[in-house]
């Protein structure tokens, strides 16, 4: 019913690696580091072809500046994915949130911190609604969030009536995005802080263990005393809040609110998280994998555009990379699967380390 995302871990264990030859080790580790290696290859390639424009601080800044919002949305989408759910509202929400973040200031006359707070609260409410629909009304997460997302989009259209929301914004608000501490766009620091915090939660806190357990087998999770409903709803709330923050940052960046902007973030954000599930901890969505996924898309697209690629290159590159990465991961998994199976049949043979 709620099987939008299935995952099977591919990460080799130390003990497994010990008994393999170097070539086999590389093959087994390829899924773990394939994407980072490909990223490095792309960087080297573009740096050689475009020595004047690609490997520059300016380009790095522009990539970081451009992609930080997608990175935050990707991380937002990743949280419900840990529990085996998908949240499409990360892309729809940002449309309404960035319009509201501006309108609450220019039309309602609220201070910018107040406007931000209200948007974040609304993001939280959206997450609760999504969580209730998925866990209490038992609607598949894909369908539930497609529904709520479309409604949000309609609200944004209705509110703006197709016009731009403009007005003078306080410096404090626009600096949320435009300041450059240490010469690096501030949004980079947001992404870094968020990634580190989420990584600690996902890998080292019980809540991360529980979310992955729910994603792996919800029935078993329940029978092990994990309050699965609460955690799944919580994962949507976290995703909703991060989506709202991304909306605020988009508003600070564009300084104009319009309902035609934002939806194009949905697919890259999901692609980032899906790509992430093929690397670092292959087989399950994970923080550094997600960051890696967003990074490879950013680097690839930047390079291709500088080489004169057209405007449609971005979605083309996103789509192709996703299919190749997921395809290869699935292939590696099936190959592994056949070997795993025979290993599982040999309980009476001594453990491989002793063999």
Partner 1 sequence: MSSANPELLLQIDHVSKRFPGVVALDDVSFDVRRGEVLGLLGENGAGKSTILKIISGAQLPDQGTIYWDGKPVSITSPQTAQSLGIVTIYQEFNLVPTLSVAENIFIGREPLHFGRFVDWKKMRADARAITQRIGLSIDPDAPVSELSVAEQQMVEIARALSIEARLIIMDEPTSALSGAEVDRLVGIVRTLRSQGVSVMFVTHRLEEAMTLCDRVTILRDGKLAANLNRDELAIPTFIEKMVGRAASNLYSRPTTRRQAGAVRLSIRGLKSVVTAEKQRGVVLKGIDLDIRAGEILGIAGLVGAGRTELARAIFGADMKTADRFQIDGEDVTIRSPRDAMRYGIGLVPEDRKLQALFLQLAIRRNFSVASLDRFMRLGVFVDEAKEAAELQRFRTMMNVRMTGPDQLISNLSGGNQQKIVLSRWLSLDPKILIVDEPTRGIDIAAKAEVHEILDTLANRGIAVVVISSELPEVMAVADRIVTMREGRLTGEVAPEEATQEKLMSLMALDDATVKG
Stretch that binds partner 1, among 108-116, 179-187, 296-304, 333-341 (CB under 8 A): 333-341
Give dist(CA 173, CA 177) in Å, integer.
8
Nearer to partner 1, 89 or 235 (CB): 235
Tell me the closest approach of the beta carbon of residue 138 to partner 1, in angstroms: 9
How many CB atoms sit inside 10 A of residue 278's CB?
A: 28
Cα–Cα dist 160/123, whole Å: 19
Give the range of 61-69, 305-313, 316-324, 342-350 binding partner 1 by CB under 8 A.
342-350
Q: State in angstroms the smallest separation of the CB of 132 from partner 1.
A: 17
Shortest Cβ distance from residue 235 to partner 1 (Å)?
17
3 binds partner 1 (CB under 8 A): no
* DSSP string covering 19-45: TS-HHHHHHHHHHHHHHHHHHHHHHHH
Site for partner 1 in 266-295 (CB under 8 A): 283-284
Both tokens assigned to 213: 């357990």
| 327 sits near partner 1 (criterion: CB under 8 A) | no
Contact 321, 296 (CB under 8 A): yes
Q: Least distance (Å) from partner 1 to the CB of residue 339?
A: 6
Beta bridge partners of 165: 257
Q: Which is nearer to partner 1, 10 or 86 (CB)?
A: 10
One DSSP character per residue, 198-247 reads HHHHHHHSHHHHHHHHHHH-HHHHHHTT--HHHHHHHHHHHHHHHHHHHH
Single out the segment in contact with partner 1 by CB under 8 A; choices: 64-72, 128-136, 162-170, 339-347: 339-347
Q: Cβ neighbours of residue 180 under 8 Å, at least 6 residues apart?
A: 61, 186
Angle ∠(3,120,127) on CA atoms, nearest 5? 20
Q: Report the residue number, 121 or 220, with the smaller CB distance to partner 1.
A: 220
CA 237 to chain centre: 15
Report the site for partner 1 in 193-252 (rule: CB under 8 A). Answer: 200, 204-206, 209-210, 212-213, 216-217, 219-227
41 binds partner 1, rule: CB under 8 A: no
- Taking the complex as a whole, the smallest distance from the CB of residue 34 to partner 1 amounts, in Å, to 19
For 93, 247, 270, the CA distances from 128, given in Å and listed in that order, are 13, 18, 20
Residues that bind partner 1 in the complex, under the rule CB under 8 A? 7-9, 11, 13-16, 19, 200, 204-206, 209-210, 212-213, 216-217, 219-227, 283-284, 339-353, 355
């Amino acid at each position: 019913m709620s099987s939008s995302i299935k995952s099977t871990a591919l990460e080799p264990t130390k003990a497994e690696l010990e008994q393999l030859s170097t070539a086999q080790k590389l093959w087994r580790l390829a899924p773990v580091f394939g994407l980072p290696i490909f990223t490095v290859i792309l960087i080297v390639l573009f740096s050689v072809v475009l020595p004047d424009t690609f490997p520059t601080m300016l380009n790095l800044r522009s990539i970081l500046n451009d992609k930080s919002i997608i990175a935050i949305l990707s991380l937002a989408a990743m949280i419900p994915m840990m529990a085996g759910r998908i949240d499409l509202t990360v892309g729809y929400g940002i449309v309404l949130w960035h319009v509201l973040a501006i309108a609450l200031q220019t039309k309602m006359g609220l201070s910018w911190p107040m406007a931000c707070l209200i948007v974040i609260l609304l993001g939280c409410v959206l997450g609760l609604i999504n969580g209730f629909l998925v866990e209490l009304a038992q609607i598949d997460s894909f369908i539930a969030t497609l529904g709520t997302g479309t409604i949000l989009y309609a609200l944004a259209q209705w509110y703006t009536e197709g016009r731009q929301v403009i007005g003078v914004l306080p410096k404090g608000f626009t600096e949320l995005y435009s300041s450059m501490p240490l010469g690096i766009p501030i949004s980079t620091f947001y992404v870094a802080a968020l990634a580190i915090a989420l990584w600690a939660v996902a890998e080292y806190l019980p809540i991360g263990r529980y979310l992955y357990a729910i994603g792996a087998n919800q029935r078993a999770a329940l029978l092990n005393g994990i309050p699965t409903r609460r955690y799944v709803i919580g994962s949507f709330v976290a995703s909703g809040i991060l989506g709202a923050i991304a909306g605020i940052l988009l508003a600070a960046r564009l300084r104009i609110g319009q309902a035609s902007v934002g939806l194009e973030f949905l697919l890259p954000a999901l692609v980032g998280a899906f790509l992430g599930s093929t690397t670092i901890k292959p087989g399950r969505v994970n923080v550094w994998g997600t960051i890696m996924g967003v990074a490879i898309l950013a680097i690839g697209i930047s390079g291709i555009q500088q080489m004169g690629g057209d405007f449609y290159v971005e979605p083309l590159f996103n789509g192709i990379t996703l299919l190749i990465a997921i395809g290869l991961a699935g292939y590696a998994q099936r190959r592994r699967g056949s070997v795993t199976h025979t290993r599982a049949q040999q309980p009476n043979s001594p453990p491989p380390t002793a063999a």
